[in-house]
Amino acid sequence: MGSGLTERSANKSMSAVNDSSLPVFETAQDIHQHIAQSATLRTNKTCIELLPLLSYVWRAIRELSGDNAYERYIAQHAASYPDTTPLARKDFFLYQQQQKWSGIQRCC
């Protein structure tokens, strides 16, 4: 089909629609220009303000569940021991499991 969209191929693919109000684009540049000018694709200010909140909630959930333990280990290891190689993710997980379940786990 080449570098751009042709009118014939666009009409052929939309022949089932039969709506003359649909735009037909000649090139990819026409598509990008239409998207930039489209009122329906403008960003919503509320949605943009909601993203930092959702990001904070997601980080808090990962922190509380321990899902980010390896990332925290890598950051701490790089700061404290820059000359040594950190454990691989699998080895870190096995070490954490051994630490958690070894030894006496009861109070009496």
The tens digit of pLDDT for each residue in 21-74 reads 666 667 777 776 766 666 554 555 666 678 888 889 999 999 999 899 999 999
Q: What's the pLDDT score for residue 76? A: 95
First to last CA, the chain: 76
Q: Domain extents for the chain? A: 7-41, 45-101
Do residues 91 and 70 touch, judged by C-beta distance below 8 A?
A: no
Q: Percentage of the chain surpassing pLDDT 70?
A: 58
62 residue type, one letter: R
Average pLDDT over residues 8-25: 53
Residue 24 burial by Cβ neighbours in a 10 Å radius (0-12, 13-18, 19+)? middle
User: What's the pTM value of the predicted model, to 2 decimals?
Assistant: 0.48
Residue 76 burial by Cβ neighbours in a 10 Å radius (0-12, 13-18, 19+)? exposed
